[in-house]
Chain A
Amino acid sequence: MVKEFSLRINGKSYKVRAFEDEPLLWVIRERLRLTGTKFGCGMGVCGACTVLVDRKTTRSCLLPVKDAVGKEITTVEGIPSNHPLKKAWIEHQVPQCGYCQTGQLMEAYALLLENPKPTRQQIVERLSSHLCRCGTYNRIIRAVEAVSRGGKA
């Protein structure tokens, strides 16, 4: 049941042994130690584990590792520090505890890939599938709006 898998994450190749049905989340963060991707619920409800798989947002806690083979996976570590979204997150001092933020940022990143100029309504709708117990929602929305207006993502 434990097998070796080849994964491509942030443009790099990794070989890792894991259970076939093991969610990608645990492989990324515990076996490969890319800990920017967080565990929150394990059932697709909170968004903390969001990564991109072939440029689409994916809740990595729900995707068995075997289904991620051959795909291009992007985690928060793969987004450059000077990316307008990361800069906006700092500019608007978004994080409190910070635990949900990498998932929020990945969702915003994917949204901007699909639609570089989302409206406020579209931003709110999209990010409403992510939980933040610290209540940073308004700052998240402001940060994404700023980048959307900037139109550079």
Chain B
Amino acid sequence: MITRRDILKLGGLTLSVMLMPDGYRILKAQEVPKRYAPNLWLNLSRDNYLTVFVNKSEMGQGVYTGLPMIVAEELDFPWERVRVRPAPAGKPYVDPKMGIQLTGGSTSVRNMYETLRLVGASMREMLVSSASKSLGVPREKISAKGGYIRVGEKSYAYGEFVDLAMKEPIPSKPRLKEEREFVYIGKSLPRLDVPEKVEGKALFGIDVFEEGMVYAVVERPPYFGAKPMKVQVEEAKKLPEVVDIFPISTGVAVCAQSFWACQKARERLRVEWSESFVKGWDDGDFERYFMQKLREKGDVVKVLGSPQRSFEESPIKIEEVYIQPYLYHATMEPMTCLAWVKKDECVVYAPTQSQTWTLEVAKRISGLPESRIKVITTYLGGGFGRKANVEFVAEALEISKRLGKPVKLIYTREDDIKSGYFRPYSATLLRVGADKEGNLKTLSFKIAVQPLLGGRASVEGVENIPYSIPNLYVERVDVELPVSSWFWRSVGSTHNAFSVETIIDRVAHASKKDPVELRLSLLRENPVARRVVQTAAERAGWGKPKMGEAMGIAYHFSFGSHVCHVAEVSLDKKTGQIKVHRVVTVIDVGPVVVHPDLIRSQVEGSVAMGLSMALKEQVKFKGGGVENTNFHTYGLLTADEMPQVEVHILTSKRPMGGVGEPALPPTAPAVANALLWGYGIKVNRLPMTPEYIKTLL
């Protein structure tokens, strides 16, 4: 565990980056004014190790590798000597462009790229200047490469100059490398987190211990929106190792010396819960409610041309209603947190995606000032947005405060599913109109969904659609329900890419137009996107399936990246079972490819999650609560269902795009479109389970 104070004591050359009103400032550690706080720390030690303190959560996306390699590039430093540590939470580690410390929105490399290069380059120049002085050699005769200062035949480790370098001024305009000078950027360096993950030594949230700690589980209401009214604890308290049982804001906390004692005790617990609006609701009730909401007037977000009239006058008109379910994040590591609220100090170890919100709940619950709170980010056993919601941290804090002891809270899988914060349910009404040649002239979109990001997520990917459509209408109806909803990898694009991309193919199908051709013409004003679609079609061998019976294509722009998938699919008409054999995918990430293999693995993972959502996933309701209880009733994609995935990466001159999310949204529509062309099946809801598909045959 490292704190800000520890960083200042490290010795060697320590630089920090601070966001000031006029932009970034690079400062030496000791120059950091007391009340100001930098955004990032880097330390080059006397024994020639570079430690980068990264202000992002490593949840599998490779940020512990991607960010340090950018610094190491400009510093020109050997990769084997680079180490990475999580930065302590607090004002110093706020993401400069987001204003809070949060890992999400596929932003990590995007936001930090320039800053990391500058600071690496600054360090390098300071080393060169100090070497020049101490060796009495002009700067031009010195090169700094691979962690060594070289003068003629002689070479000296960077570490030899760190103390002197600390006295050098920070260069105002350090020279950055030309692209052709890159030694790391563009290469797939080995990930820094992989060896300890393979050994079982990586510390996840669930792997933390504290002397004298108590375990806790929380018994949760059987339906959303309820609170515990009456709790009978006598029987439960008789068990060995049980410490205490009491209601908290989200349920009833059961605390014991072991996790298993908590579990046994909760079986003997009797809780009466308060009433709630959704008590008694089953799946059908949700569908009726959302369909009713879809008929209400909402907020009109965008109007281009005259959508109403042009739709009515269109020779080809298609209207469709889409229903998409709540989805569960299913991080393999459930929510878990170790918290300790003491009188004058508060410590939190958490697999959190948001250090800022974690700090906020710690302040609120402990009542202590920020300077008395330590937040330590562990590895995250999956995040996908879920772990940016810190209610689980708040629960651990609340329990610890009451007991005055360190508390390790563990959600069972059943608790984790029940706890909600799902990708919201949605009902979408789409109307599209085209001329006889299949030229799409009108797209009218109306969605009823629980709003995220103040409603922006509801219309994500539609309001900013890259297609040239002269008549566009976008409306959203905000739904409020006690079922908690939250960011789920790719957020609003998950539902909108599905509805929009499948209806595009319905137009193509109705007018006998090739869906690739239709997309290329819709993207006539967007050459970058056109090239993505074109390349995907070429690489996949469009029109000639190799492994499956049918092919489908889908394209979507989100998180700054363009992605197009071509899926090869077969359907067993007897069983309704879909098999996806191969997905060829093209992603355009903008100007640079920092680490190609990280992009590939993120895309492979997004396709897997996208297929899982397309074919299997649905949170089901019974009595107003979640009917699925564990992975046997909330199935995820398995190895035998995983297609071959071929990833092609393109670059273009434009702002940098993200890679963690944008490949997910086009997955489900690519599969659905293959069903349309191959089997004439019109899918308008997810998941495409065999039972559902059979009803369409």
Contacts and interface: CB of A to CB of B under 8 A. Distances in A.
Interface stretch (A52-60, A90-98, A110-118, A145-153): A90-98
Interface string B149-160: 000000000000
B413 A40 contact: yes
A135 B609 CA distance: 7
Nearest to A96: B60
A93 B383 CA distance: 19
Given A26-B259, A100-B332, A124-B640, A95 B198 contact: yes
Which of B188, B202, B332, B645 gathers the greatest number of chain A CB atoms within 10 Å?
Answer: B332
Given A33-B209, A81-B199, A133-B331, A98 B379 contact: yes
Contacts of A81: 199
Given A90-B195, A93-B194, A43 B632 contact: yes
Contact of B639 (A22, A94, A124): A124
A39 B217 CA distance: 14
B289 interface: no
B642 A135 contact: yes
B198 A42 contact: no
B684 interface: no
B412 A130 contact: no
A48 B330 CA distance: 13
Given A38-B206, A99-B381, A30 B638 contact: no
A76 B200 contact: yes
B261 A135 contact: no
Contacts of A31: 258
B60 A97 contact: yes
Given A97-B59, A133-B331, A41 B260 contact: no
14 contacts: A19-B240, A26-B259, A39-B334, A46-B631, A90-B190, A95-B197, A96-B601, A98-B194, A99-B382, A102-B200, A131-B332, A136-B604, A140-B639, A141-B639
B381 A38 contact: yes
Contacts of A66: none
B361 interface: no
Contacts of A139: 601, 604
B640 A96 contact: no
A97 B631 contact: no
A19 B261 CA distance: 8
A35 interface: yes
Greatest chain B CB density within 10 A among A23, A29, A128, A134 is at: A134
Given A95-B194, A125-B640, A128-B638, 10 more contacts: A2-B240, A18-B260, A35-B207, A36-B200, A90-B190, A96-B60, A129-B638, A133-B636, A137-B608, A138-B642
Contacts of A99: 204, 331-333, 381-382
Given A19-B261, A42-B413, A90 B198 contact: yes
Interface string B632-663: 10001111111011000000000000000000
B601 A136 contact: yes
Interface string B534-569: 000000000000000000000000000000000000
A75 B200 contact: yes
A134 B410 contact: no
A135 B630 contact: no
A95 B60 contact: yes
Interface string B495-524: 000000000000000000000000000000
Contacts of A131: 332, 631, 636, 638
Query: B-side binding surface: helix, strand, loop or mixed?
Result: loop
A21 B632 CA distance: 23
Interchain residue pairs A-B with the least CB separation, the first 9: A36-B200, A135-B608, A99-B381, A98-B197, A96-B60, A97-B60, A76-B200, A135-B605, A35-B207
Contact of A93 (B201, B601, B637): B601
A22 B215 CA distance: 15
B384 interface: yes
Interface of B: 59-62, 188, 190-191, 193-195, 197-204, 206-207, 209, 215, 239-241, 258-261, 264, 330-334, 379-384, 410, 412-413, 597, 601, 604-609, 630-632, 636-642, 644-645
Given A76-B199, A134-B605, A136-B601, A97 B260 contact: no
Interface of A: 1-2, 18-19, 22-23, 26, 29-31, 33, 35-43, 45-46, 48, 75-77, 81, 86, 89-90, 93-102, 105, 124-125, 127-141
Contact of A135 (B194, B333, B597, B604): B604
Nearest to B381: A99
Given A135-B606, A136-B605, A101 B190 contact: no
Nearest to B202: A98
A97 B202 CA distance: 10
A67 to B, nearest CB: 15
A40 to B, nearest CB: 5
B260 A95 contact: no
Given A127-B639, A131-B638, A136-B601, A95 B632 contact: no
Contact of A39 (B190, B410, B608): B410
B7 to A, nearest CB: 26
A42 B629 CA distance: 11
A145 B641 CA distance: 18
A1 B207 CA distance: 26
Given A39-B410, A93-B597, A98-B197, A137 B639 contact: yes
B43 to A, nearest CB: 26
Contact of A77 (B200, B261, B607): B200
Contacts of B632: 43, 45
B639 A45 contact: no
A85 B209 CA distance: 29
Contacts of B259: 26, 30
A5 to B, nearest CB: 13
Contacts of B201: 36
Nearest to B633: A45
Contact of A97 (B206, B380, B639): B380
A96 B240 contact: no
Nearest to A88: B198
A2 B240 CA distance: 7
A96 to B, nearest CB: 3
Contacts of A125: 640
B634 to A, nearest CB: 10
A100 B204 CA distance: 12
